[in-house]
Amino acid sequence: MTPGLYLFCLAPASPPPVISGVGIDGEHPLFVEIIGEVAAVMAAVDLDDFSGPAAQAKITDLAWVAPRALRHEEVVMAVMAQGPVLPVRFNTVFSSLAAAVAPLQQRQDVLTTFFRETAGTEEWILKAYVNLPQARARLTAARLEAEKEQLEGLAPGKRYFFEQKIKGIVEKETSSWVTGVGREIEALAQGASAEFSKCRVQSREVTGRDEEMFFHGALLVAGNSLERLEAAVAAWNGKQETEGIQLELSGPWPPYHFAPAL
């Protein structure tokens, strides 16, 4: 075994987080290392698991990664339950304690500012989905109703081509409508959060849903604003259900989207 240190997360040193159990290898115990005003939650690991050809094979093996990623998340969540936390990316490993201490000593100001500004807040994820066939059908019906008199006066051939033209117009209208709704949701998110970060929209292959995701954002929410945010999402869903729009709010999560780059 080539000894190394795995870093889970950082927290304020006063008071330091209380943590127990083992690290991602299921063997070495967790410990807290105090570095200036920062507490680093760590555990020993075998460096050979994280570097070299053998490590490359492991990191692409879901059976190897999944339980370790889950343990990583469990540790971060346990620290978050005690106060501010800066989650570190999965697979952050150092060759020695000295190698871990040096960069954290240099970033004390950044880290203490982050802990101060995120105290009393949680990250929540807001996603919006649209049932495109339902939205197109609604807009098509409205357009056909508006053109009803003109359509009734056309011969079957001309009526067909006119209806096809309407479908093309509806396609553009649907896209424009979804974009506008996305802007409204972003305004809602920004108004209900201390900080907002726009995230990449996920494909249906990733979400496993028939509906299209068209909005994805991370919100840093203060405890006294959560009830207002939940009420706004519920009201939005009640209003937009017939139009094929659904919002999903999930959390709380560690503030991954708001952590400073180290």
CA distances from 233 to 72, 133, 207 (A): 30, 23, 20
Q: What is the pLDDT of residue 46?
A: 87
Summarised one tens digit per residue, pLDDT across range 180-216 is: 999 999 999 998 898 999 999 999 899 999 899 999 9
Q: What is the pLDDT of residue 126?
A: 97
Q: Structure pTM?
A: 0.81
**Which domains does the chain carry?**
3-118 (no CATH), 121-258 (3.30.70)
Angle (CA) 180 240 211, round 5°: 80
> Cβ contacts of residue 75 below 8 Å, gap of 6+?
8, 9, 19, 21, 23, 30, 41
Q: Positive or negative CA dihedral for 20, 23, 28, 33?
A: negative
Please identify every stretch of the chain with a pLDDT value under 50, giving residue numbers as ranges. Answer: none
> Cβ contacts of residue 143 below 8 Å, gap of 6+?
166, 169, 170, 173
Q: What is the pLDDT of residue 79?
A: 96
Q: What is the pLDDT of residue 134?
A: 81
Q: What is the pLDDT of residue 163?
A: 60
Q: What is the pLDDT of residue 261?
A: 82
DSSP 8-state secondary structure symbol assigned to residue 49: G
Q: What is the pLDDT of residue 195?
A: 92
CA distances from 126 to 1, 143, 197, 201, 211 (A): 43, 32, 10, 11, 15
Q: What is the pLDDT of residue 160?
A: 58
